[in-house]
Amino acid sequence: MNRSIKSVVVCQVWRSILLVALGAMVVSCAGNPLNIRQIAVTENPSEQIATLESRIGEVREERIDLLSPDWFGRSEASYEEARKLRDDGDPIQKIMDAVARSHAQLDRAKEFADVSRTALPSVIKARDDARAAGAPTLGERYGEVEDDFLSLTRAIESDDLAWAKRRAPSVEQAFRGLELAAIQEQTEHEIRSLLEQAERDNGAKLAPTALAAAKRQHRELTDFISKNRYASEEIGERAAAALFSASRAVAVTRRAKEVQSRSPERLALDDEAFMNSIREALSVADIRDQPFSQQRERLTSAATELLRDRDYLVSQAEKLRERIDGMSEEIARLEGQSEAEREQLARLDAERRFNELYNEVSRFFDPSEAQVYKQEQQLVIRLRALQFPVGKHVLMPESYALLSKVQKAIRAFGEPQITIEGHTDSTGSAQLNEHLSKLRADAVAEYLVANNTLSRDRVRSAGKGFSEPLASNKTAEGRALNRRIDVIIDARHGA
C-alpha cells in the first residue's frame, strides 16, 4: 500500500472515530434525564430567581442561546414561569421547582453547546468573522443565514449530528460570503461617497494628485478583496488606508477651493499664523522673522524635545513609585506590622487615594460635558457631549477637546485598565445598534491608544446597543440621554 493510500485510510479512520465520539456525546446529552437539584422551600424565592436571572445572562454571553437554542429557550420559559408563580403568590414549592428545572435545562444546554463547538468549529469561526465585519447590517440576507446556523445546532439537539455535519460546509460558505459583502458594503460605500464628494467639489482640477491617489487605492482595495476574500485582517488594513486617502482628498480639495482666491501674501500670513499658534503652545520664542523652512525645523525640534522630556519624566516617576513601594514595605517591616495589618493599611490608603482622584477628575469636566461617578473601585465618566453623526462612528474634531480631558483623567490613575462602552437609543434593530455602538466605542479606544494615553493591552471596548437605557426611548430627550459613551476606569489596576 503506497503512502497516499495510507494517508487516505488514516484520515477516514480518524474521521470515523471523531463522528462516533460526537455521536456518543449527542446521545449521552439527549438520553440522560435532567439532573434537577431540588431547592429547599426555606430559601428566599426572589433571591433564587435573581441568581437564576444572573446565570442566564452569563450563559447567554457564552452564546449558549445559539449553540443550544431549544434547551436555552426551555430554561428561559421555566424562569418566566417561576417569576409568574412568585408574582401570583403561588406556593413556594412550585416556584422552587420551576427555578430548579430552569437550572437543569441550562446545564443540558451547556452540554449540547459543547457538542456544537466540537462539531461546528469552522462554521462558528465563519459566523464570528462575518459579524465582526458588520454582516448584521445586511438585514434579511444575514437573518436567513443565521436561521440556517440555528438549524444546525437544533439538529444536534435532536440527535441528528450527521445532518448537521452535511449542512455545515454550505452554512460556513454562506457566512464567508456575508463577511465579504459586509466589508464591501461598509468600506466601499463610504469611500465612494467621499470620492464623489471630492468630484463635486471640483477635485479633478483643484487637487488632482490627492484625488488620483485616493482613486488608485480604492481600485487596489476592490481588486484585493475580489482575489483575497478570506484575508480579513489585511482587507481591514487596506480599507482603512483607502478610507483615509479618500477623506484626505476631500479635505485637500476643500482647502484648495478656500485658498484659490487668496493672494500670495494672504497665504503666507495664514501659514505664519498656523505655525505661530504651534510656537505659542510649545513656549518657543517668537521666530516669525526667520525663513519659513527654519521656523518649521525649529518647531519640529521643540516638539521632539518635549516628547523626550515627557518620556524622561515618565521613567523618573516609575522609578519614584518603585522607591516608594520599597520604602513602604520596609517601614511596615520595621514597625512589626503583620501581613494582615499591611493589607488593611494598603486597602485604606487605596480607598483614600481613589476618593482624592475622584474629586480631582470630577473638576475636569463641566456638567454639560460629562457625569463622573464612583462604582465601587471603578470611576465612570459618562460622556454627554461626545456626539457622532447619525449612523456613523467617526469622531468629529469638536470632540477632541473633551477627549483630551478624558486622557487627563485616565493619566491621573497612572496606567489603569479601562473599558469603553458604546450605547445607542432604540432606533433601528438590536443587531445594527449593537454593531454601531461597538464601532463607536472602538473609535474612542483607538483615539486614546493613538494619542499615547495607554497601551493597547490596557484598553478594551464593548458595544451595548440599546440594552442599558438611562431613560425612556419614547421621547427625544430620553433617546439623547441613551446615546452615550461611558469610560470606565478600574482603579484597582492602576500604577
In this predicted model, what pLDDT tens digit does every residue of 183-198 receive, in sequence order?
777 777 788 889 999 9
pLDDT at 428: 82
Query: What pLDDT was estimated at residue 202?
Result: 93
Q: What angle is formed at CA 124 by the lines to CA 120 and CA 130, rounded to 5 degrees?
A: 150
Q: Tell me, what's the pLDDT at 44? A: 92
Portion of the chain with pLDDT greater than 90, in percent:
40
Q: What are phi and psi of 418, to 5 degrees?
A: -130, 155
Q: What is the pLDDT of residues 350-382, one digit of tens each?
A: 788 888 888 888 888 888 889 898 887 789 999
* Higher pLDDT among residues 337 and 106, named by residue: 106
The pLDDT assigned to 312 comes to 67
- Residue 51: per-residue pLDDT: 93
* For residue 5, pLDDT beyond 50: no
Scanning the structure block, which residue is given the C-alpha cell 484597582? 492
Strand order across the beta sheet in which 378-383 lies:
370-375, 378-383, 484-490, 417-423, 459-463
Q: Which pLDDT belongs to residue 8?
A: 40
Summarised one tens digit per residue, pLDDT across range 126-137 is: 999 888 878 888
Q: Band of the pLDDT at 21, cuts 50, 70, 90?
A: very low
pLDDT for res 450:
83
- Predicted local distance difference test score (pLDDT) of residue 10: 38
Q: What is the pLDDT of residue 16?
A: 44
**CB neighbours of residue 474 within 10 Å:** 9
Band of pLDDT at residue 1, cut at 50, 70 and 90: very low
Report whether pLDDT(166) > 90. yes
Q: What is the pLDDT of residue 27?
A: 45
Average pLDDT of span 60-65: 90
Q: Does residue 21 or residue 66 have the better pLDDT? A: 66
Q: Beta strands 417-423 and 459-463: pairing type?
A: parallel
Average pLDDT over residues 133-148: 89
Residue, of 70 and 19, whose pLDDT is higher: 70
From CA 38, how far away is CA 255, in angstroms rounded? Answer: 73
What's the mean pLDDT in 39-68? 91
Please report which confidence band the pLDDT of residue 330 belongs to, taking 50, 70 and 90 as the band edges: low
Which of the pair, 200 or 327, is modelled with greater confidence? 200
Q: Of 29-43, 204-218, 284-298, 438-452, which has the strongest mean pLDDT?
A: 204-218
Half-sphere exposure of 68 (CA within 13 A, CB side): 28
- Evaluate if residue 49 carries a pLDDT over 80: yes
Residue 282's SS3 state is coil
Question: 94-98, 390-394, 395-399 — which one is most confidently predicted on average?
Answer: 94-98
Name the 3-class secondary structure at 436: helix
Q: Kindly indicate the confidence band of residue 331, based on its pLDDT and cuts at 50, 70 and 90.
A: low
Domains and CATH numbers, the chain: 3-176 (no CATH), 182-259 (no CATH), 352-493 (3.30.1330.60)
For residues 350 and 240, what is the distance between their CA atoms, to the nearest angstrom?
A: 42
Evaluate if residue 294 carries a pLDDT over 60.
yes
Q: What is the pLDDT of residue 340?
A: 65
Average pLDDT for 116-130: 91
Q: What does the DSSP 8-state code read for residue 420?
A: E
pLDDT(200) > 90: yes
pLDDT number for residue 2: 46
Cβ-contact 120, 168 below 8 angstroms: yes
pTM higher than 0.85 for the full model? Answer: no
Please give the mean pLDDT across all residues of the chain: 84
The pLDDT assigned to 377 comes to 79
Distance set, CA 294 to CA 269, 275, 286, 300 (Å): 16, 11, 12, 10
- Helices then strands (H, E): number in the chain? 18, 5
pLDDT of residue 24: 44
Instruction: With beta carbons less than 8 A apart as the criterion, state whether 370 and 409 touch.
Output: no
